[in-house]
Amino acid sequence: MGLLDGKVAVITGAGGGIGKCHALAFAKEGAKVVVNDLGGARDGTGGGGAMADGVVEEIKKAGGEAAANYDSVATIEGGKAVVKTAVDSFGKIDILVNNAGILRDKTMLKMAEDMWDLVIAVHLKGTFACTQAAAAVMKDQGTGGRIINTSSTSGLLGNFGQSNYGAAKAGIAGFTRVTALELQKYGVTVNAVVPVALTRMTDDLPMFAGAKAGEIGPEFISPVVVFLASDLAKDITGKFIGIQGNMINSYSMKVSEGATKAEGMWTPQEIADSIEKIL
């Protein structure tokens, strides 16, 4: 018995890297998998069915069940089409993993408008579009569900040259917190992973200089996603799980103790005098 026997999972951006590892891991645990991938380069250009088809074929050769989808997640229509593939192919959807993404790195002062718009569209709007479509079906099914989003340290902590990507990933964190609250009454959990892994998306980033795939590869991420998608995590929602190689942690927002004035409004000078306690 696999942890995901009888479940139908949609995984976006599953033609390579972390998403492909997810798809193979889910299939190994018994899930029927929709492999979504636009088939483009890491900057979002191009497209084709070869990447998604390749993963589907690999799953089928191993005895699993899978279907390919090539829609862009960056539109509402695309999100609906991705979920429709699951319903048409396997009759339902139990799990959504929002993993699709692109990179258009540039410092903020040099960033063109289209570089900002495309990254926000694929990561943030894509997460919304697929989640809205999947949650609507999960609600009507009445059997709960699992949604796992993908955030990043670039959004939660910051990373030079990635203001568009960081803004999208921070937005996904906020979206995760809100949708976890909204969907809880339907038995749908919403969590996010915060992966650090060496993939084609990251292999030329300075932070990965000297890193070895066997020590920090995408395969380390998937067991956490399988866990969050399974009944082992049925009571966990609104959480952010970080994975870096064989280390797993969590991210959370912290609020300082702060300072309270006895009465009246603060003056700028009083704020300056108390800034260490405030921060």
CA 238 to chain centre: 13
Instruction: Tally Cβ neighbours within 10 Å of residue 187.
Output: 15
pLDDT in tens, 14-63: 999 999 999 999 999 999 999 999 987 777 777 789 999 999 999 999 99
What count of Cα atoms within 13 Å lies in the side-chain half-sphere of residue 187? Answer: 13
Euclidean distance between CA atoms 128 and 151, whole angstroms = 13
Where do we find the tokens 């492909």? Answer: 20
Euclidean distance between CA atoms 266 and 73, whole angstroms = 47
Query: pLDDT exceeding 90 applies to what percent of the chain?
Result: 89
Answer yes or no: are the C-beta atoms of 253 and 260 closer than 8 Å: no
CA 220 to chain centre: 15
* CA terminus-to-terminus distance, the chain: 51
Euclidean distance between CA atoms 95 and 138, whole angstroms = 9
Overall size of the chain counted in residues: 279
Angle at 84 between CA 78 and CA 89, to 5 degrees: 135
Whether 278 shows a pLDDT value over 90: the answer reads yes
Q: Which residue has the higher pLDDT, 210 or 95?
A: 95
Q: Give which of 74, 80, 114 is closest to 10, Cα–Cα.
A: 80
3-state secondary structure of 67: strand
* pTM score of the predicted model: 0.92
Answer yes or no: are the C-beta atoms of 234 and 3 closer than 8 Å: no
Which domains are present in the chain?
A: 8-254 (3.40.50.720)
Query: pLDDT exceeding 70 applies to what percent of the chain?
Result: 94
β-strands 95-97, 8-11 pairing: parallel
pLDDT in tens, 203-256: 555 555 565 656 678 999 999 999 999 999 999 999 999 999 999 999 999 999
> Containing H/E element for 145?
strand 145-150
Q: Give the pLDDT confidence score for residue 208 in this predicted structure.
A: 53
Residues classed as catalytic: 165
Answer yes or no: are the C-beta atoms of 208 and 164 closer than 8 Å: no
Please give the mean pLDDT across all residues of the chain.
94
What values do phi and psi take at 109, rounded to 5? Answer: -70, -20
Answer yes or no: are the C-beta atoms of 59 and 34 closer than 8 Å: no
Tokens representing residue 163 in the block: 């203001």
Burial of residue 46 (CB within 10 Å: 0-12, 13-18, 19+) is exposed
Euclidean distance between CA atoms 118 and 125, whole angstroms = 10
CA 211 to chain centre: 23
